[in-house]
Amino acid sequence: MNLAAVEVVREPAIGARHAPARVALLGTGTVGSAVLSRLASWEATPFERRVRLVHVANSRHAVSERSGLAPAEASQRLALAPQHGTLEAVDAALHGDGVRVVIDATASEIVAERHAHWLAQGIHVATACKIGQGTSLSRWRAIRTASALGGAGYGDSATVGAGLPLLRSLRELREGGDRIHAIAGVLSGSLAWLFNHYDGMRPFSALVRQARDAGYTEPDPRDDLSGEDVRRKLLILARTAGVELEADDVAVSSLVPQALAILSKEALDGALPALDAPLRERFATAYKHGEKLRFIARLQDGRARVGLESLPSDHPLAGGAGTDNRVAIWSDRYPDQPLVIQGPGAGAQVTAAGLLDDVLRLSAR
């Protein structure tokens, strides 16, 4: 064995000087369940001492326990809880001193609207939901103002790239004095997965069902296919880069035919084959030219757009596999060759890890 190559692994320097952060988890679906599993996997490790889960809720039930809920038992406790969840119950569960964090693993407008309220009270927020920062500019500004007012942090790593170091890199570039010139890339894990697998033979609709069942899509897959989820991510990236766009400033080209757009969520599944013919045609045209279909977001000179593009196979944004996001950033120090960040951009485990990384960072502030 080459001893020089052996890395010395030290126990992480955590836990000793901090009381556990009291945490409320909202949402126990695809992402929220993975948060509970990751917390349960911390049992008997130093990480366990950093976080005390005191409240868990979904849209039907809520359970609170000041002394802490065992993450491995939380889902069962929740299912048996008579209490209907209210957002006031979160405030009550987190009442008092010490580090407090709300984890938002919902796709809920009313929860997102509450982020600023928690921040203003000094409660940190770690969110996978993009509605807080990726919709209206006024809400984005309210979150910044409340965060400053309450001295609380906003953990948003999971909102773009499911925890990839994208927002962090943009912030570090700006903190180092760089201006961001442009951003371009694949920001949707589910659409990346779909176009990495679509070969024009299998119906596109069958792949959409597979991506949904794997937990890559939004609760309503039309939020991905319409480009709305990517619009939100591009808005978050743009605002973080210092370009304060309104939602309408992003030109979005949707993949959802009108016949699908008007359906209820319950009626959607049976109607998904409406996607097949138009996408087969676009695939055939791209294939004839030796190109690949990729759903791309672009920001340059204050202009932003999102949509399906046909790219040469060797184009830098055509690479990647699985749910990979692949994002190029041009800035003062990277004027020609961009900084490129690539990795899985959807999925319960990576997203849960991104959320809990934020919780640990926020609770160590």
Ligand X SMILES: N[C@@H](CC=O)C(=O)O
In this structure, the number of other CB atoms found within 10 A of the CB of residue 312 comes to 13
Choose between 100 and 298: whose C-beta lies nearer to ligand X. 298
Tell the burial category of 190 from Cβ atoms under 10 Å away from its Cβ (0-12, 13-18, 19+). Answer: buried
Which tokens in the block code for residue 323?
């749910």
Choose between 26 and 250: whose C-beta lies nearer to ligand NAI. 26
Site size with ligand X, rule: CB under 6 A:
11
Distance of CA 22 to the CA centre of its chain: 22
Residue 224: name its binding partner from ligand NAI, ligand X, none (Cβ under 5 to 8 Å by kind): ligand X
Tokens 């959320």 label which residue?
A: 355
Distance CA 233, CA 166 (A): 11
- Regarding 76 and contact with ligand NAI (CB under 6 A), the answer is no
Choose between 51 and 57: whose C-beta lies nearer to ligand NAI. 57
Stretch that binds ligand X, among 13-21, 137-145, 197-205, 215-223 (CB under 6 A): 215-223
Instruction: Out of 130, 233, 288, 292, pick the active-site residue.
Output: 233
* Count of positions (residues) in the chain: 365
Q: What pairs with residue 305 in β-bridges?
A: 251, 298
Stretch that binds ligand NAI, among 75-83, 91-99, 122-130, 329-337 (CB under 6 A): 122-130
Q: Is the dihedral of CA 264, 139, 156, 328 positive or negative?
A: positive
- Regarding 215 and contact with ligand NAI (CB under 6 A), the answer is yes
Which among 124, 92, 119, 125 is positioned nearest to 106, based on CA atoms?
125
Distance CA 118, CA 138 (A): 17
Which among 243, 108, 232, 246 is positioned nearest to 159, based on CA atoms?
232
Tokens 């749910």 label which residue?
A: 323
Choose between 59 and 210: whose C-beta lies nearer to ligand NAI. 59
Give the chain's end-to-end CA distance (angstroms, integer).
Answer: 40
- Regarding 226 and contact with ligand X (CB under 6 A), the answer is no
- Regarding 347 and contact with ligand NAI (CB under 6 A), the answer is yes
CA of 128: how far to CAs of 27, 28, 41, in Å?
10, 12, 20
- Regarding 13 and contact with ligand NAI (CB under 6 A), the answer is no
Contact 146, 119 (CB under 8 A): yes
Choose between 111 and 119: whose C-beta lies nearer to ligand NAI. 111
Choose between 101 and 286: whose C-beta lies nearer to ligand NAI. 101
Strands of 58-205 (E only): list them: 62-64, 100-104, 124-127, 154-155, 180-186
Which tokens in the block code for residue 196?
């990495």
Smallest gap from residue 290 Cβ to ligand NAI (A): 31
Compose the 110-149 pattern: x for residues touching ligand X by CB under 6 A, - for all others.
----------------------------------------
Residue 215: name its binding partner from ligand NAI, ligand X, none (Cβ under 5 to 8 Å by kind): ligand NAI
CA of 145: how far to CAs of 65, 67, 122, in Å?
31, 32, 12
Residue 188: name its binding partner from ligand X, ligand NAI, none (Cβ under 5 to 8 Å by kind): ligand X
Residue number with the shortest CB distance to ligand X?
Answer: 190
Q: What pairs with residue 260 in β-bridges?
A: none
> Of 5, 8, 110, 259, which lies in the binding site for ligand NAI, with binding defined by CB under 6 A?
110
Smallest gap from residue 219 Cβ to ligand NAI (A): 4
Smallest gap from residue 181 Cβ to ligand X (A): 25
> Of 162, 208, 235, 353, which lies in the binding site for ligand X, with binding defined by CB under 6 A?
162
Distance CA 270, CA 61 (A): 30
- Regarding 226 and contact with ligand NAI (CB under 6 A), the answer is no
Choose between 119 and 236: whose C-beta lies nearer to ligand X. 236
Tokens 């989820």 label which residue?
A: 229
Q: Is 233 a catalytic residue?
A: yes
- Regarding 104 and contact with ligand X (CB under 6 A), the answer is no
Residues that bind ligand NAI (CB under 6 A): 26-32, 57-59, 85, 105-108, 110-111, 128-130, 158, 162, 189, 215-216, 218-219, 346-347, 351
Q: Which residues are catalytic?
A: 233
Catalog residues that contact ligand X under the rule CB under 6 A: 162, 188-190, 216-218, 224, 229, 345-346
